[in-house]
Structure 1
Amino acid sequence: MISLTNGGQAIDHETLEWSELGFARLPAGQLWTDSLRGVRITLTHGYESVPIVVEMIREMAARAEASPGGLVEARAGDISEKRSMTAPGVAGGIVLMAHEREQLNPYRIRGS
């Protein structure tokens, strides 16, 4: 982390408490802002680019668009429509498929 502002005030990121899963807590007596976009973080990460993740997000968005609401089956009287399922009981949507989970393994934070 390079910098952090909370409600427009700079916070020394070295004073944060961190959980094992990456949750951050401000020092005693300080609260996170409840303003939308009120917390701004500048950071660097370990990858210049991650094109496989970008492509995966595009594919998930296309699945979600193809099946709004994740409907598996729609019925009106004698007419029914079934959509192809991407996971048991799920059509479209943003569910990661098994091969996508496997592709993300190299980027997984160890211990999670």
Structure 2
Amino acid sequence: MAELDSFAKPEDMESRTEGLIPTTRPFLDEALAAASLAIRNHCGWHIAPVVEQVQYAGGRDTVFLPSRRITELVFVVNDGTVLDAGALDFDEDTGQVFGPRWSARRRGLVITYRHGLDTIPADVVDLTLQVAARALGSPLGVTREQSLASSITWTATAAGVAGGTVLLAHEKDSLAAYTLGWTS
């Protein structure tokens, strides 16, 4: 899969922070990319945009593609036999592909498919901005500075732990609709 863009743009950050983090802020692009990657890694797939991907499978009866939004099966080869991809059924929301008895060989099944959301959901853009802003708020890993009677506390993810590009528990919970696997 080709390199993916960040879920949010520098202009989004400048707008959300009312100019406190301008588009010219050093490392803003890197922070947005890192936040987007953290979200994608947590969810187990790229989320958006729609892309074409090849998945190798086999050695089991049930096949799930790593996606919460399949749009099309493009090409399917099962034990060296090309199948009519258009005739196969799939569950677009769970990634399950239904078909004949799948190959028992490891990597004996090759599926090329298109998947992803057409647009980046607003809640994913917002979370990207939140995580990136937190990371930019403590670039040196400093959590607190004090001088005589004044002190300043920088971004922290836990007591004594500097911000950084991490997803907090409530942020992970907000991604449940995009995360692979069974949810209740």
* TM-score where L is the length of structure 1: 0.49
